[in-house]
Structure 1
């Protein structure tokens, strides 16, 4: 059987969780740096660099979300195709029970070749 949907779903969840963790870390870094009562140009330079790093971290989090969205779309397609395979198998079984199954070579159960079988 192709495409273990539970494994894919778990990957989607992990990507979303990582994105949230990365965003939270960016917020923590900025917050901690802003709360330091250190005056001067060096302090401002540090704060600026941390803000820049936080922007980069948030961009990374966004890429994690985008990857999760793409993987989620892939998951939907895998589920759709698996359902189509099951439907084709059921149709073949029904036709066989009725003695109306055409003379075709049928794929093994669960194989993607079921998507190409014309009944």
Structure 2
């Protein structure tokens, strides 16, 4: 059997949740940097470094979202192919019930070979 759609959906959800967590952490970090009120080069260096870290967290969040998008597209394609396999198997079953199934070797149930069967 091929990928479990619900497991993949759960992974997509976790990736999106992690992206949100990273963005929230970046926002909190940025707010703390803005809260540094002492003057001087050391304070500015600290704020700059924290802003860089927050930007890196936002970049990580964006990559998490991209990974979720890719996985979601993949799971939709898996789902589409699983549906096509099931439809081909139903057609073969209907033809067999009518005695009209051509004499041919059919793939095992659920096998991707059903995508190439012409009935």
Bin for the TM-score computed over the shorter chain: over 0.9
Alignment correspondent of 1:106: 106
User: Residue in 2 aligned with 1:118?
Assistant: 118
Residue 9 (structure 1) aligns with: 9
SS, match of residue 38 in structure 1 = coil
Structure 1 CA distance, aligned partners of 2:38 and 2:96?
A: 81
**Residue ranges of structure 1 left out of the alignment (5+ in a row):** none
Residue 92 of structure 2 is matched in structure 1 by 92
| Alpha-carbon shift at residue 37 of structure 1 (Å) | 2.3
Query: Which segment drifts farther, 99-108 or 35-44?
Result: 35-44
Instruction: Identify unmatched segments of 5+ residues in structure 2.
Output: none
**Structure 1 residue 36 displacement after superposition:** 2.6
CA–CA distance in structure 1, aligned partners of residues 98 and 21 of structure 2: 57
1:6 Cα deviation after fit: 0.7
User: Pairwise mapping of residues 62-101 of structure 1 onto structure 2 (< 5 A)?
Assistant: 62-101=62-101
Q: Distance in 1 between matches of 2:111 and 2:59?
A: 40
Q: Distance in 1 between matches of 2:5 and 2:104?
A: 30
TM-score in terms of structure 1 length: 0.96
SS of residue matched to 1:99: coil
User: Once superposed, which parts of structure 1, at least 4 consecutive aligned residues long, lie more than 3 Å away?
Assistant: none
Give the RMSD, CA atoms, in angstroms.
0.8
Q: Give the TM-score normalised by structure 2.
A: 0.96
> In structure 2, what is the Cα distance between the partners aligned to 1:98 and 1:117?
18
1:54-90 per-residue CA deviation (whole Å, 9 max, x = no partner) reads: 1111111101101100100001101100000110000
